[in-house]
Structures are given as structure tokens and as C-alpha cells.
Chains A and B, each alone.
Chain A
Amino acid sequence: MSYRQARHDVPLVYEEYSDDINTNIKFNEYLPKDIIRQAPPNIPRLCERDMVKHFTQLSQMNFGVDSGFYPLGSCTMKYNPKINEEMASLPDACMLHPHQPDSQIQGTLQIMYELQNMLAHITGMHSMSLQPAAGAHGEFTGMLVARAFHEDNGQKRDQVVLPDTSHGTNPASAAMAGYDIVTIPSKEGRVDLDALAAAVSERTAAFMLTNPNTLGIFESDVTEIAKIVHGVGGLLYYDGANMNAIMGKTSPGKMGFDIVHLNLHKTFSTPHGGGGPGAGPVGVVEKLADFLPIPIAAKKGEQYHLDYDRPKSIGKVHGFHGNWGVLLRAYTYILSEGGNGLTEATEMAVLNSNYLRQKVEKYLEIPYPGLRKHEFVASGSALKKNGVKTLDVAKRLIDHGFHPPTVYFPHLVEESIMIEPTETESKATLDAFAAALEKVVGESPEVLHNAPTCASVRRLNETDAAKNLILSYRDYLAFKAR
């Protein structure tokens, strides 16, 4: 074992630095007395050298895709090409202001227009909106579009149906748009057609599905699913979190979906940024196009403009035009890969996943037979007899230099371990991971319970965090004084 994460003792900025510069600034000249802030905000002031040291040392205690293998299932932690960053930081890209007139932003509008078309083509949709800032934001937008469509048809539908394997954002987004959630159980890891047929009705606004589903299994009954949902007048919603599994092989449009969101930070290689920003464009079939958010990038002659003249639109879901910085990175990726490269990315993502799976299934149970797409879910339930949980396995993988997979999701599989290798990893990396995982599941319970020992900290008292709720330095001082 050779991995060891940096272990600096970095005090909080408040503990090491202060703000002792007395600026003597008074605002009396400009503001009435009763609205002026009396004391300056208590924020330490670091010189550049100290600030850079502080944050650099912290960064060394953080694991990113650049640090190593990051097989976090459902998150598509593929490598983020460096040229994307460089293009997005060009002054011609990042120094644009959202209130500039169309005539001054022709390059950006052309890129947005082309990106809309590319994403529409990849997903088999008619029109795209680039405005949503994240996948869940795209889901919420899609649900609002569904709502507007049904209302426009004079229909008050109040339910959204989804399978028990769906991402948590699906029910949460639909509930935010005002829908009651109907969850249907899966049958052998797939949508149970009978349960679906029994659940849908004239109350169904939409059925939300990710395909392949969160077990990595392709829902090959998708045409029947579409028939059932459309049969009652419902819409079929595609959660694009798993789009990396199907590019160039099939498309949501071809499968019968009406609304799609994509996660550009997953499939289209933009960095995850420690949790964001992402981008969650939404595509729809022709009959829903009028309801997409405004504006949409449009072309007239040789000129591009932001089209606000869409009277049936749901309006806006973001203060400006979405996360342009992320859109440009994704556009750069699509140009670099091309249609051929995207298809090949999917092929390799699925090959890597199936290859890794046949190695892992030699020592861990992988429920449900058959092919997998871009990810697969193993179960750590057999380890329970030794008093070992999936969580222990995950923590021990850290000591081997790997970011743990997603654990305890989907709930359908007991003690689940969800592994998504992505296409950007080599066979050597997959072999090393498979060997490490095999070693880990064979290690003694003591070692596993003790893990991690090579990260910057040991296992955390997370229950204390929820009990004491120390959410700021101010809270911390109060806690210490107790």
C-alpha cells in the first residue's frame, strides 16, 4: 500500500489570521446614519502569500479526478480535458456581461445555438433550453414544462409516477413542481410493466425514468413503457444522468421519451467543482417546444439572437442564461470528440463497466444477470456475517488510493456498492482497482473497521456533527465556551 493523503494541520483562517488594518473609513458622507453598519464585518485579511498557502494546503487534502480513480456511481466522474478550462477562461468568453445587447455577443449566441442543436441531435429531441444550472434544476424545469403542457390542454393532472430505483432528485423535483409522487416497485431490477400499468391513469402527468436505470441495466421494455404512459395521456421523462451509456447507440427520442435533461458535468466532461457548478439542459419533443424557458438562442439570416417571443413559455428558471461557463466547456468537448468520439466514449464506458464487473463478481455478489451499461451495483451483504458493512469497504478503498464508489444507493440492493468506471480509465487502473477491492473484502474486520488510516483524518463522528450543529466559526467559539 503506497497511498497517503497529505495531513496538514491547517487552522481555520480565523485562528491564524486577523484583520488589523484600521482603514478609518466612514460612510456618513454617503449614507444616512441609521442604515450604516457600525463595526466592520469580522473577516480576517490575509496577504496574498498566506492566502495562497492556506488554500493550497487545503487542496492537498482533497481527492479529485486528477488525483486518481473516482468510480462514484451515477456521477460519471470522467477526466475533464484541460483545454475546456482554457477555452472557458478566455476573456472573450468570461468577460461577457449578461445584459449586453445581442449584437455584442454573436460568438456566444452562435455557440449556444450550435450546442442546442447538437444536444437535441444526441438526445433525439426537437428543441433544447440551456438555462437550467444543474441536473435537478433541469428536472424541475422539465416538470414545469409538463405542467404547462397539460394545463394548456385543459388537463389537471396531479401525479408523477417513478420506479423505486430512481435518483432522489426525481421525486424531489416533481414534488417541487406540485406533483404527488407514486413510486412503483421494480421487478428483477427493471420496471414492472404490470405495476406501471396499474399506477398510471388520467391523473398521471409524467413517468420519470433513467435508462439504463441506476442498476446499470437497460430497460429493454422501453417501447412498451412508452406505450403504457402515452396511452393514458402522460408524458415520458428521461433523467439523463446515465446518458454516458447510450450516446450514438440509442437516444431518448428514439425510445419514446418526451422530455430529457442532461448533466453536462457528467456526460460532457465539465468538472464537478466540488459539487458544482454544473449545467442541466432540457430537451423536448416538438409538441412541448413552445413551453421551454425563455430565452432560446435563435438564428435569423446570419445573425443570432435571444428569442423571448415565445408566448407559451413557462418563463425563466434562472436569473440569466444558465451556466454559460459550463456550456462552453461542454461545447469544447463535443468539438474535440465529434460524433465518432462520443459514440466511442459510450462504447468504452460500457466496456470498462462490464469488464470490471466480471472481475468484481468473482468475489462480490452482483444481483440480476445480464449485460450492464456504464455502471453496475454490487452487494456487500455477504460480508455482514463477519460484521463488515459496505461503508467499511468504502472507507478501506481510500487507503488504497481510490475514491470510494457510491454506497447505499440504489436502495433496491442491500448494502449496495455502485461502481461507474467511465471511459477515461485504462485497463491497468481497472485491474488495480479490482485487485484492491478483492484484497479489501478479504481483510479482517478489524482492519476494515479501522479504515481509513491513510487519509488526512480518520473516520468522523458524523452523529455529533448533526447533534451539536457547529456551522460556523462563531458557533465553534460558542461550543468551546460551553
Chain B
Amino acid sequence: MAQQSDKEQMLAALNMKSTEELFGDIPKGVRSEITEIQNGLCEPATRSRISSLLARNRPAGKMSSFLGGGSYDFYIPSAVKSVTGRSEFLTSYTPYQPETSQGLLQVLFEYQSMMCELTGMDVVNNSLYDYSTGLGEAALMASRLKPGKVFLIPETISWPRFSVLQNYCKGPGISLVKYRYDRKTGLTDIADFKSKLSGDVFGALVETPNCLGVLESQVDEIRQALGDRILVAGVNALSLAAVRPPGDYGADIMISEGQMFGNPTNFGGPMLGIMGCKKTHVRKMPGRVIGLTDDIEGRRAYCMTLQTREQHIRREKATSNICSNEALTTVATASYLALRGGSGLRETAFYTMKKSRELAKAISAVKGCKAPVFSGSYFNEFVASFPVPAETLIEKMSEKGVLPGVEMALDGMEKNLLVAVTDRITDADIKKYAQVLKEVVQ
């Protein structure tokens, strides 16, 4: 903010006596003031007020937390925080002027490169808001690629994802039809899936793992059944260190959530919507894309490309309205991936798979409890059933410092929880889970 003398000099240059004259073009009838917000606090007072408000929280990160359901508390290396804290990244905006933004552009290009390798997709864009909005955009993109008005989705889809998807589908009038899951395995009911492939279906979503944590083993059959319709694969990004990536089974569009790669759970935001597609589809894709080129001296350089798809050029004909995205979370993710490497991701995947199986075993050892409920294979998250309502369990167990899982919205699953394991879970956490569970159900 300017010094008082600056202010006076600037007003004088404008032949004005007070800043009030700058607002003379606002009619008196519409003038208003801010009356209900107290005067500004000094920095120590601001800090003290906010810290004391936040102290009323009981953050999951300080408990033994087995919460997942789309947001996962994986360990964030300090070096990743130091990268995202670089103010040159933090305080810049969309790299409209590439010559002065090469650093960010190269990071975003490296993000795209590493994410293409992880997912097996030809192209990955530079972020959507989160998995759910990515799913909405994927449905819109698929409907641009193939004629038809129906998009198939799994019955197991979580309610928030479904609700967001519904909102994205309202505009073009896309109908969402759910296909069933097998009650025993948790996998797609293939017969039901095939029976729903009417002529009006332009594409389908397959989630693997789905919202029951079950990894879909029938992706090739689903791909084949779809024919030339669009296959949208919704995946757990870390699981791709262990399981076949969507590029491998011919997904047209891939969506995922990248929060787990170097970003805090942050009460659910910021997240990182990852989207990839086949190269043939790239001109229909939403979101920013960074391309490699050179400058007039032949130095390698990077810039935003395919901008003619975007709203600032195409307006209502754009592939999406997205402008601000989640760039800084892709910076976190790029540095996280570079620190882990392919082998490190496999180590993390292996650890969480191992510990989740140990946890399932420990839960099943408690009388009246069963985990996993479904026989299909899983990655780091599974459904468990208990002899008491999920709500009670959460309340009682969190009193003792354990967050036992996420409630299920599906019918008949009031005594089930979706339980997740990350690399922050230790043997002591698992022991504590079993111990507290035993106390609560007895």
C-alpha cells in the first residue's frame, strides 16, 4: 500500500482532493459500505485469532486415521513442500507469456510426461479441479466424441461423484444409467452391463478400484463389449504402480485424483483432477496442455498449446469453461513423483497393500467383524462389516483416537465402512485399530 505522501501526489496529478472523487461514476442510489466486518487486525492478533479457531479442530492427521474415499493422507516429503513454497511458482499465474514462465512450463511438461508414463495414456492435461469434476468433464468430452445421449456408470459410484456428474450432464441433457455390481465379488455385473448397451449409449465409466475398493478384473471384456463407444476409466493413481494402467486396456479417457501425490488432505481441497486421453481425442479435451517447441535461437522451450479449444479464444464453443485450475498441485505432484520414481511408487504401493491386508485380517479377528466384505481383489481400501452401526463405530472409536473408515451410502450397508490404508499407517496404528474396535463392539 502506498505511503500517505504518494497518495496525495497521485491525487494531485489527477486534480482530485480525495479518493471519493474516483467513485463519482457510481450512482448515489447504489452506494453502500462495509459495516459488519470489524477493523483490520495486526499480524500477531490475526495469527492468534486463527490459531485459536483452528485449535478447535481435531485433525485426522494427528490421529490413527483410516479415512479415504477419494482423499488420502500419504506422507509428504519436506522437499516437496520446499518446491511448492517457491514463491516464483506460488505467486505466478497462468503462463500466458511463455518467455518469462519457462520454469513453471517445464515443470508442467514434466508432470504431463511422468503422468503419461504412470497411466499409459498418450496425453495428460494440466489439471482439472478434482476427480469428480474430471468425471463430469470426461462425460462431456465423451459425448462430443460419439453420438448418443446415455452414459453408463457403476451402481457403486459414491454419492458426491454422482451428484457432480449429474450437474455436468444437465447442460447437454445426458442421461446417466447405472449398471449393477456383483453382490459377492464387488465387480461389475458383466451381463447387466452388456444388457444396458443400447444404441443411445455413447460411453461408459469403469472405476477401478470402484467405490467399494474393488479392482475391476474384467476391463478387457468391458472394452470389447463397448465396441467403438468411449471407455472412461476412473482409477486410483497410486494403484497404477501395481495394476495395469488404463492405457494398457484401451481406455479413451482416463480420470484420476492426484491429491495423494504430495498434497495434504486439506479437508478435501485443493485436490488434483488428472485427465488423460488418446492422442486422437486431444482436440476435444478440456483443460490446459503444455507443448514443447523452441525459440527463435533454437533453444528448447515450452508453451501452452491447443489454446484454440479454450474459453478465452473460443468462448461458448470452447471444450470447457475451465480457466484457473490446480497448477500448484501439479507442481507438488511432479516433484513428488520425481522423488519417488517408478520404483519408489512401487514400494509405497506394496507397503500400503501389505498393511491393508494385515489390517483386514486384524478386523476379521474381532468377533462379528469381517474384512474385506467383497471377494474381488483390492488395492489399499476395502469394505468392512461390523456388528454395530457405522455411525456409532466412528463416534466411539474416534473418541479413542482412531478414525475407522468412511460411511457407505449404498443401501443395506449401514453397518459397513470403507477402510483405507496409506503409508503413514504403522503396525502400532493397526494394533490400535483392532484393540479399540474390540472394546467398542464388545
On whether A106 and B57 interact (CB within 8 A), knowing A64-B92, A348-B1, the answer reads: yes
One digit per residue, 1 when the CB lies within 8 angstroms of any chain B CB and 0 when it does not, for chain A 92-110 equals 1111111111001111101
For the complex formed, measure the closest distance between the CB of A412 and the CB atoms of chain B, giving whole angstroms. Answer: 14
Find chain B residues with CB under 8 A from A13 CB: 110, 113-114, 338
Q: Which of A13-53 contact B (CB under 8 A)?
A: 13-14, 17, 19, 21-23, 25, 27, 30-32, 34-37, 40-46, 48, 51-52
B164 partner, pick from A89, A101, A318, A354, beta carbons under 8 A: A318
Number of residues from A at the complex interface, CB < 8 A: 198
Bound-state Cα–Cα, A40 to B343, Å: 7
On whether A100 and B46 interact (CB within 8 A), knowing A43-B118, A355-B13, the answer reads: no
A178 partner, pick from B107, B127, B173, beta carbons under 8 A: B173
A350 near B312 with CB under 8 A, answer no
B303 near A250 with CB under 8 A, answer no
A459 near B296 with CB under 8 A, answer yes
| B133 sits at the interface (CB 8 A) | yes
Looking at A164-172, A191-199, A377-385, A440-448, the stretch in contact with chain B turns out to be A164-172
On whether A458 and B270 interact (CB within 8 A), knowing A98-B71, A351-B22, the answer reads: no
Find chain B residues with CB under 8 A from A174 CB: 316
Bound-state Cα–Cα, A320 to B164, Å: 10
Bound-state Cα–Cα, A255 to B67, Å: 45
Q: Which of A132-146 contact B (CB under 8 A)?
A: 133-137, 139-140, 144
B87 near A66 with CB under 8 A, answer yes
Bound-state Cα–Cα, A217 to B311, Å: 23
On whether A41 and B342 interact (CB within 8 A), knowing A178-B170, A275-B93, A466-B291, the answer reads: yes
Number of residues from B at the complex interface, CB < 8 A: 192
Bound-state Cα–Cα, A323 to B259, Å: 12
For the complex formed, measure the closest distance between the CB of A247 and the CB atoms of chain B, giving whole angstroms. Answer: 7
Looking at B26-34, B147-155, B193-201, B427-435, the stretch in contact with chain A turns out to be B26-34
CB-CB nearest in chain B for A217: B25
A133 near B130 with CB under 8 A, answer yes
B2 partner, pick from A12, A135, A249, A427, beta carbons under 8 A: A427
A423 near B132 with CB under 8 A, answer no
B55 near A43 with CB under 8 A, answer no
B269 partner, pick from A17, A256, A277, beta carbons under 8 A: A277
For the complex formed, measure the closest distance between the CB of A274 and the CB atoms of chain B, giving whole angstroms. Answer: 4
Looking at B94-102, B176-184, B225-233, the stretch in contact with chain A turns out to be B94-102
B270 near A455 with CB under 8 A, answer no
A277 near B293 with CB under 8 A, answer no
Bound-state Cα–Cα, A359 to B9, Å: 13
A168 near B315 with CB under 8 A, answer yes
Find chain A residues with CB under 8 A from B345 CB: 40-41, 43
For the complex formed, measure the closest distance between the CB of A165 and the CB atoms of chain B, giving whole angstroms. Answer: 12
A457 near B67 with CB under 8 A, answer no
B290 near A471 with CB under 8 A, answer yes
Q: Which of B340-379 contact A (CB under 8 A)?
A: 340-347, 349-350, 353-354, 357, 377
24 A–B contacts from the bound complex (CB under 8 Å): A19-B342, A25-B343, A41-B342, A42-B342, A43-B338, A55-B107, A72-B96, A101-B394, A108-B54, A108-B267, A172-B318, A176-B168, A178-B172, A272-B91, A318-B269, A322-B269, A338-B40, A371-B22, A427-B3, A460-B99, A469-B282, A471-B112, A471-B289, A476-B292
Bound-state Cα–Cα, A253 to B265, Å: 35
Find chain A residues with CB under 8 A from B306 CB: 466, 469
Bound-state Cα–Cα, A421 to B403, Å: 48
B32 near A124 with CB under 8 A, answer yes
Find chain A residues with CB under 8 A from B270 CB: 133, 276-277, 323, 325-326
| A77 sits at the interface (CB 8 A) | yes
A276 partner, pick from B95, B173, B327, beta carbons under 8 A: B327
A350 near B25 with CB under 8 A, answer no
Bound-state Cα–Cα, A225 to B100, Å: 41
Looking at B67, B163, B350, the one whose CB has the most chain A CB atoms below 10 A away is: B163
A51 near B2 with CB under 8 A, answer no
Find chain B residues with CB under 8 A from A95 CB: 59-62, 73, 264-265
A27 partner, pick from B123, B167, B353, beta carbons under 8 A: B353
On whether A339 and B39 interact (CB within 8 A), knowing A176-B171, A178-B172, the answer reads: yes
Find chain A residues with CB under 8 A from B241 CB: 37, 40-41
Find chain A residues with CB under 8 A from B129 CB: 133-134, 137, 277, 318
Bound-state Cα–Cα, A459 to B343, Å: 38
CB-CB nearest in chain B for A121: B36
Bound-state Cα–Cα, A470 to B306, Å: 11
Find chain A residues with CB under 8 A from B24 CB: 371
Bound-state Cα–Cα, A197 to B98, Å: 42
| A87 sits at the interface (CB 8 A) | yes
B117 near A336 with CB under 8 A, answer no
B271 near A247 with CB under 8 A, answer no
Find chain B residues with CB under 8 A from A37 CB: 240-245, 248
| A432 sits at the interface (CB 8 A) | no
B327 near A472 with CB under 8 A, answer no
A254 near B266 with CB under 8 A, answer no
For the complex formed, measure the closest distance between the CB of A344 and the CB atoms of chain B, giving whole angstroms. Answer: 7
| A240 sits at the interface (CB 8 A) | no
Looking at B106, B123, B268, the one whose CB has the most chain A CB atoms below 10 A away is: B268
